[in-house]
Chain A
Amino acid sequence: DAEITQSPRHKITETGRQVTLACHQTWNHNNMFWYRQDLGHGLRLIHYSYGVHDTNKGEVSDGYSVSRSNTEDLPLTLESAASSQTSVYFCASSESNRGNTEAFFGQGTRLTVV
């Protein structure tokens, strides 16, 4: 079965370190997204990609970057981790950017910055 997997599931890192969260999907979807989930804010979009070599900023992109070198992967990099980036991160993918297309989510990565 096609799926979307995130790794690691849990990560503790120190302030100032660079961290990369992996996201891999086998749906062959063009669209991929990164969200962060925080109490009281729901899911907020960090970055998204509509295809290989395409990346776009979401509503909370400061301090994060992504790259899309193939269809399957969209790694999320925190360039210099800050305590405010402690959160649960979700990767998602969808077949297209048509409005009626649902998104499929990974299991999430819980990141703690100490």
Chain B
Amino acid sequence: GNSVTQMEGPVTLSEEAFLTINCTYTATGYPSLFWYVQYPGEGLQLLLKATKADDKGSNKGFEATYRKETTSFHLEKGSVQVSDSAVYFCALRPNNNDMRFGAGTRLTVKP
């Protein structure tokens, strides 16, 4: 079946630290991969996506590369800010199918 595994949180970093949130997936075929972000009290918002192997999605300083050989889509940011504190979800979506999410990783960035 299709599933996503994310590193467990919570993750606490100091401002300007480097961020990595690991995400691996299991899927039949070649899904598209997504990172969503959820700020407190809000719904999920798309952060970035990649639709095929070796694609790199990027937005707001965040990046993730679709690695087919390691079935991974790790989220990275070189210098986090307090405003990046949120819950981050990795997700996959195969063609003609619904979207499946990981358990989410809570990030707290301290000044």
Q: Chain A residues in contact with chain B, CB under 8 A?
A: 33, 35, 40-45, 48, 58, 90, 92, 94, 97-108
Known A94-B99, A107-B43; further 6 A-B contacts with Cβ < 8 A: A33-B99, A42-B89, A42-B103, A103-B46, A107-B41, A108-B42
Q: Tell whether, in the assembled complex, residue A99 and residue B97 are in contact, meaning their CB atoms are under 8 Å apart.
A: yes
* CB-nearest residue of chain B to A59: B100
State whether A99 and B43 are in contact (beta carbons under 8 Å apart), knowing that A33-B98, A33-B99 are contacts in the complex: no
Instruction: Specify the chain A residue showing the minimal Cβ separation from B51.
Output: A100
Residue of A nearest to B31 (CB): A99
Chain B residues proximal to chain A, CB less than 8 Å: 6, 30-32, 34, 36, 41-46, 49, 51, 89, 93-104
A99 to B31, CA, bound (A): 6
